[in-house]
Structure 1
Amino acid sequence: MAGRVAQVASEQMAESTAASQDDHGVLPPPRPLDAIDQDILRMLQADGRASIRSVADRVHVSRANAYARINRLVEDGVIRGFGARVDHERAGQGTSAYITLKIVQNSWRTVREELRQLPGASHIALVGGDFDVLLLVHVSDNRALRELVLTRLQAIPQVLSTRTLLVFEEEDLEPQS
């Protein structure tokens, strides 16, 4: 039964999200989450493979209620997916860096699509301040990082400049189970 929440939700994610979106691909307005919804989210963030039964038991609702709540959280776009937390170093991506980019004004959508295609890109954010975009990458080594920055990033016409911040040590802040 373990992993049943993730399995069921994954199978229904695409059709549920599509069904809950209007004709323009926009999700419905957010609904307030009650304490049970918040508890379910905390549980699934700590263990996305939790069974429906264990979720129901821990939040003190029936399995049918837990199942319905999880489906609603998926349909409403609160839960965007289920995945594994990866130790990048053990997965052969021992070099991590934050890269800041200054880009041509009004080119965010174009640049975002280019950045999504980069090997090792893990997080992309449009930000305000001294630079426009913050990009987190995980690559095999410094040679791969140099290739990514000097060849791939700087070849994007809308990228005006980059600054690379090498990560010496990192820790994901995970919810406590």
Structure 2
Amino acid sequence: MNTAKHVLRYLKGTIDHKLCFKKSSQPLRLLAYSDSDWASSVEDRRSTTGYCFSLTGDGPLVSWKSKKQPTVALSTCEAEYMALAATTQESLYLTQLLNGMDKKIYHCTNIFEDNQGAISLSKDPVHRQRSKHIDVKYHFIRTVVNEGKVNITYCPTEDMVADIFTKPATKSKINKFKRFLFGN
């Protein structure tokens, strides 16, 4: 019942928000924000992956997702790396979709990540003892980075738009990212 009340309060508080698609003076370029919330599920200690994509620096979003990760991450770095893998997969799909729709060729997606360890893992092919346990299926990120299909850039946590998809969305967070989320 508390969860239902929380959802209803959220809907009431955001009734004036809407996605607004309008022509932008900025060139179209796929931008992504990737985040995770480590071991946030009380029942099974699995983390939450969240990401969002926009075609311009000021939004609105064209793709977003929040999902519980399939396995338990042993560290925040691993949880962020798993989220980064999901974001990279969506990036490849959206790039292929855009290239099929538009005459412009979309090459490289900028993915913003707030975990320095996950960024290092994505760029450095050296296997360290601390990261040895991370499943090989997530290491495809390195190949995609080396091929120049994505560029992973550090983004401070306080500027992480995808934080809304992994943690409770407070009114201040929604207001802070309103322009990017909704295009208003």
TM-score (norm 2): 0.24
For the pair shown, the structure with the greater C-alpha radius of gyration is: 1
TM-score (norm 1): 0.24
Q: RCO greater where, 1 or 2, for CA within 8 Å and sep 6 or more?
A: 2
